[in-house]
Structure 1
């Protein structure tokens, strides 16, 4: 989609009472205001990862937490990752009545501003607006267009691939205005389980298990940092993160 097409879609989306918002993180269990319909389902062509820094909800500017974002599958294929992707990213789509679209846009931080004849998007902590087809689990033959917030790899809060043990340890120690970072992770896994059979995410579940392991060791008098170091020490040489492509290709992608 060109910039001009994206601008036009932003300006007209919802005018025909067709405003659907896709939630793949906290929106699954914390719905937006004024929705009149919630539909479980999934999108394709993306990978969900805890690779987005959070300075305003699950962390602070001095100590950012970790929250999920979506990575285009074609881009993910060029990166290093310890976890395999799922074929589908499950979540929930919310229908917003036309009369409430403007209010919900403002609530979510989606303010459209006219500047020199252009429509600009104000990013919220690195997230920007994209559009993607959504497939309802109850009616997979009738996909619908949804608006979704994504922290693109070009945004300053995008952190890229991380070692799972270090990521789990970081989530356990992080907190922000919206609460503990661990609660966000655990609630996401629980919310995905409530969407239906096959709605789980291996990346999310693996981080939950790593966090529980670290917490169990901490309960036995071992600090999270010590437990994390012990888990890292158990890895055999060559295990863990695997290189995809050449060093030059990896550096170019991550710039």
Structure 2
């Protein structure tokens, strides 16, 4: 399949933006970002946790590959969307803005505006491992709701687009075991 580069303004969503973008867009297309992977690597003190009981939210770490959605933004909405996303995503400043090459499932490539994890920030958790991540996620709640709902919605959206993220599926399974939703040793 021949690829063609698109010149419109695109946003790459890999977490809550996939199921709750909060902005107007012209189209949403499944996409893959090379060079970064999705990880529960940022402590949330606002949306999905508090300073006393932090949650975890997703960030993009360097290396690997990440599936998600590319959102094409109308030219007259670019400034408003960027302002909205800066207010939403930079609340704790644990992210950095980036424009990165994105491969859309339909064969187009584009440069996409997104947010990557800032490993120098105090809210950067890094890789905590499956058990510690599940422990934080199952107990945390912030102004946007339960931290585990953020995980569940992200996994559901990935499944809806035919993506499989083994790490997120394993994390969801661990949270479900801890909450008694499923038994250890059973299939999902």
Which of the residues 36, 45, 53 maps onto 2:35? 45
How large is the Cα RMSD of the aligned pairs?
A: 2.3
* Distance (Å, rounded) in 2 between the aligned partners of 1:110 and 1:67: 16
Q: TM-score of the superposition, structure 2-length normalised? A: 0.87
Question: 2:153 aligns to what?
Answer: 187
- Number of the residue aligned with 2:111: 145
Other structure's SS at 2:123 match: coil
> 1:124 maps to which residue?
91
Structure 1 moving runs of 4+ over 3 Å: none
CA distance in 2 between counterparts of 1:97 and 1:17 reads 12
Which secondary structure does the structure 2 equivalent of 1:162 belong to? Answer: coil
**Contact 2:54–2:136, Cα closer than 8 Å, also in 1:** no
Bigger Cα Rg: 1
Q: TM-score, normalised by structure 1?
A: 0.65
1:236-255 matches, within 5 Å, as: none
Give the number of aligned pairs: 178
Quote the offset at 1:109 in angstroms. 2.0
Alignment of 1:1-255 (within 5 A): 18-73=8-63, 87-109=64-86, 123-125=90-92, 126-139=94-107, 142-196=108-162, 199-216=163-180
Give the deviation of 1:17 after TM superposition. 6.7
